[in-house]
Chain A
């Protein structure tokens, strides 16, 4: 579904990603872990098409298309979804109105007729029940005055509404307590199926207790330095990132 080859990217001339290779197939859950500053969020942003990040080398193939050639909204149209680490606030624009616009814009991209108010509302009620989210949150301006947990739940709710093929969760657990993590993770798990894929970007292993990955990759200094199964996450939890750093540094002869 997603094939990343030798991806290099920089911000304001500073190289952050130094050659990433990663392949994700339908039905899989991958986790990318790594210490702060390793390039995890950069990878998520590059995949979503943030223009501050300049791709200097490499390719990303997504559903047979060159992902890097697509505008951010086209990537969304193709079913790529990024749950933001810091969801933005838009004063005065209600969450419902925002989601309705997004749903219909994506439908338009796919050549489908827009949902009418009744159909949209029906779908929304269904997903609200599924994600355990209340009407009051959705009537408020987008993310404005939301708590950290509310913002993240809102991200996963949008994911449910937009039904992506490839979902990237960027530090969705950061700033959440364990109960909030459980709620968010349950939401994500309900959306998993054999046709879609999830990429979880996280610093801590704890989210992976709830969203169990098929593969775990460790990102350090702009490269994937180690890949494995969910046990790798546990090992990291136990030994800390230093053991990776040591391994890498030894390997590179530093």
Chain B
């Protein structure tokens, strides 16, 4: 546990407004004072050290001023012409840059929603991620929550246009510690596709501690895609917490291609019978990147199905961490939960730590996990070479093949093609 003076000072000066965010914030303030920044002794942070990231001269709380529309145009994702675009700059929602194309989509500031007709929803779901993430870093975001949004995709709404969420860090003038926050409510029978991306501009240090909480109601269908291809100085802890409150369908794909220290917490809580969740991930990192994918699938109710497949390719001096936890609670009989993690090490200095875990308290279940760490198939490499394909190309063909069964789960075509293109570039420049 690391104690950070400017955070403690900030905590003392906090004025918690009396709205439906307050109970969670008060808890978070207590938790953070008690737990601080997690250190290596914290089991969930054993392989990912973030203490040092706080010893920087950050602008905190961060401000969004200085960022322009021209800056945004340089970083918009393909397909944006037909998407809703929500923009966070240094952790603060910037309505001036955001574009809402679907008229059914309701976007409000979290503070506003915590006081209006949505306050009940906010009270129910805001801060729920802390029930699974018992560390100071999650509490830190909740305690200081500021500039966040509430997104309401109401009952029966089928969004025909995806929602792109940009988390932008502007570190051109000074070092930035930012904490974006959002709460998304997806009503009964609603459907939505969410795409998140992270971009840092400027050369100063940055650390982003993001939390997104998503509540999914009965018969809703959600696709969620997280694309990370930031700079090597950009450090990120990104938490996405899903609650499936009724029989619903969730599909997530997490792609990490570049960054500094990147930690993704992905939680899925299956709180109703017959929920279905699919979790896919690809991390292909080089340089000095550190990628940590921490997932929790929490089966609370019976008859749910979950399938998880994460694949990693490590090159350069990159370090990969996978930590997948499956809980099957006492009442979650007839759970089917599968998890698989496959890793390839391409260079002598790359490393992987993986920790798949099963915690099972019900007996009538089918659960399995598997993980592997190895290399590209020597026989396949030789086969390609013997057909005249030079070794480097053979290698990149095989890495691409390895990644395919993750990429094919990215449904929005523009995003799928974009990720493929990023991977091609990476294969060209990053392979040893």
Whether A and B touch (Cβ < 8 Å) is answered with: no
